[in-house]
Amino acid sequence: MTGWFELDYSINGQYRFTLKAANAETILSSENYISKDAAEDGIASVQKNALLNERYERETSMNGRPYFNLKAGNHQIIGTSQMYASEQARDAGIASVKTHGASGTIKDRTA
């Protein structure tokens, strides 16, 4: 089984998406979008950029935990990972986004 995207409402009623791995674990979360079309454009951007190494920005949080951002060609953040316990785990998360990010499956929970 491959991964999929889930399109849903955020807490404030805007739209957001997550990318799920085959085991249903969230591997990438988007920002909030005002419109459903904008969130769907964000999904399309993940599908387009997920395989490109240069689109991943490896970061470390203020408490020392590694995470990453996936960026579009215009350098805007498309999605952010969870916080990881190690740099190796973060790199495995990037590999998972590369594996599942091209998925055409979108589970629309807003319908």
DSSP secondary structure, 19-85, as one string: EE-TTS-EEEEE--BSSHHHHHHHHHHHHHHTT-GGGEEEEE-TTS-EEEEEE-TTS-EEEE----S
Residue 3 CB contacts under 8 Å (≥ 6 apart), including other chains: 19, 20, 21, 22, 27, 96, 99, 100, 101, 103, 105
pTM, 2 dp? 0.94
In this structure, is the dihedral angle defined by the CA atoms of residues 53, 55, 59 and 65, taken in order, positive or negative? negative
pLDDT tens figures, 44-98: 999 999 999 999 999 999 999 999 999 999 999 999 999 999 999 999 999 999 9
